[in-house]
Amino acid sequence: MGPLEHGLTRRRTLAGLAALAGLPARAATLSLADIARAKGLQFGTAIASRQLRDDAAYAAAVARDCMVVVAEAEMKWHVIEPERGTRRLGGADAIAAFAARQGLALRGHALVWPLAGRLPKWIEAWPPADKGGLEQALLAHIADLAGRYKGRIASWDVVNEALEARDQRSDGLRRSVLLDAFGEPYFDIVFRAAAAADPGARLVYNDYGLEHEIPWQIAKRAQLLALLERLRARGVPVQAVGIQAHLKAGDAFDARAFAAFLARIAALGLAIEITELDVDDRALAADAAVRDRAIADLVRRFLDVCLAERATRVLLTWGLADHHSWMNRPGWSRSRADGKPQRPLPLDRNLQGKPMWTAIAGAINAAPQR
């Protein structure tokens, strides 16, 4: 049984962790940021401007444990420009200002997300035959958004979730207005535009459904590697792969297979970022302590593999405390059958570290120095 299950405070847990790591007593105040920094890694999370405004204690917890933040929604194209030409940047600017004030790095998420409903409606309705007009709209969006935050974004998710098994193409590519208009070379257009707009940002291809040892995810890994090889061969300026890591308790994880996948990415000369870690616990029984243990165990096994790969530079969770997780939003489809809130994140609703926090800290501590 881990220290947290004994009901110890987070501070004592930290002291215990410091003792385990052979660190001096002052290490009892270590945050995930401190532990990551010592390894040459970065730890961070996704936030929303409303949380910064309405929940000061949470904002302080984010500032304490994190070195990097990303907007959970407010830099997405369909959120920024729901109608053509009217850009709503208040939320994105508030998050960028928080990062600057707190001395945190900033990720950008996401310039192009071809999932239905995640491109602006006016883009989805664009006649694919008018390629020229669509390309101009894409270029203007990227120049504007990546240009606005130029020099302030450590890495941009340039394309998000462009592979979709359910669309049943042999190359795995998601069907969208962009694929219809340009075919795969829409990647070339948008990555080149992002490189021109913010030459200092690391340019990332980000996707989900890669982590578990289940058939559609195994197939998706192969399709992603093939896509990356083609992009590299064409000189497309993709520099990193973002692995979302929306893990599912109960789904198989194979450390060896996943390590081999990460090694293939690294061998292409690409960096790796773990961008949206959380654990869906719908498959687990109600008892919170039992769930927390299973979640921490999965996170530790997963991160041990991710962080052993030296190409992995950054780790972000998709929110820091359970009550702010997307899985616990009213009306969202990821709710548990027993009606209990999910426990997907490192802190509980009292901002106390859970076993998942300890698992992350332990995995970072065990990682080779960068």
Q: Which residues bind ligand XIL (CB under 6 A)?
A: 72-73, 160, 208, 244, 276, 326
User: Least distance to ligand XIL from the beta carbon of 276, Å?
Assistant: 6
User: Least distance to ligand XIL from the beta carbon of 249, Å?
Assistant: 17
Tell me the Cα Rg of the chain. Answer: 20
User: Least distance to ligand XIL from the beta carbon of 58, Å?
Assistant: 16
The b-or-e profile of 333-354 (16+ CB within 10 A means b, else e) is: ebbbeeeebbbbbbbbeebbbb
User: Least distance to ligand XIL from the beta carbon of 326, Å?
Assistant: 3
Torsion angle (degrees, nearest 10) of CA 109, 115, 118, 124:
130
User: Least distance to ligand XIL from the beta carbon of 281, Å?
Assistant: 16
Q: Is 164 a catalytic residue?
A: no
Pick 78 or 192: Cβ nearer ligand XIL: 78
User: Least distance to ligand XIL from the beta carbon of 200, Å?
Assistant: 23
Question: In the bound complex, which residue of the shown chain has the CB atom lying closest to ligand XIL?
Answer: 326
The amino acid that residue 62 corresponds to is V
Pick 276 or 322: Cβ nearer ligand XIL: 276
Pick 333 or 369: Cβ nearer ligand XIL: 333
Short-list 133, 310, 162, CA closest to 230: 162
Torsion angle (degrees, nearest 10) of CA 301, 302, 304, 307:
-170
Question: Active site residue: 72, 74, 161, 164, which one?
Answer: 161
Pick 4 or 99: Cβ nearer ligand XIL: 99
Pick 24 or 331: Cβ nearer ligand XIL: 331
Whether the upstream peptide bond of residue 110 has omega within 30° of 0, thus cis, is yes
Q: Is 276 a catalytic residue?
A: yes
CA–CA dist 196, 205 (Å, integer): 17
The continuous run of DSSP H or E covering 103 comes out as none
The continuous run of DSSP H or E covering 65 comes out as helix 56-65
Phi, psi of 250 (to 5 degrees): 100, -25
User: Least distance to ligand XIL from the beta carbon of 133, Å?
Assistant: 27
Pick 24 or 330: Cβ nearer ligand XIL: 330
Q: HSE on the CB side for 51, CA within 13 Å?
A: 27
Alpha helices in the chain, H assignment, sequence order: 10-20, 32-39, 49-54, 56-65, 77-80, 90-102, 121-124, 131-148, 177-182, 186-197, 215-233, 255-267, 288-308, 355-366
Q: Cβ distance 241 to 273 under 8 Å?
A: yes
Pick 6 or 88: Cβ nearer ligand XIL: 88
Fill in the DSSP letter of residue 6.
G
> How many other CB atoms are there within 10 angstroms of residue 267's CB atom?
10
Q: With helix as H, strand as E and coil as C, how does 333-353 read?
A: CCCCCCCCCCCCCCECCCCCE
Catalytic residues: 161, 276
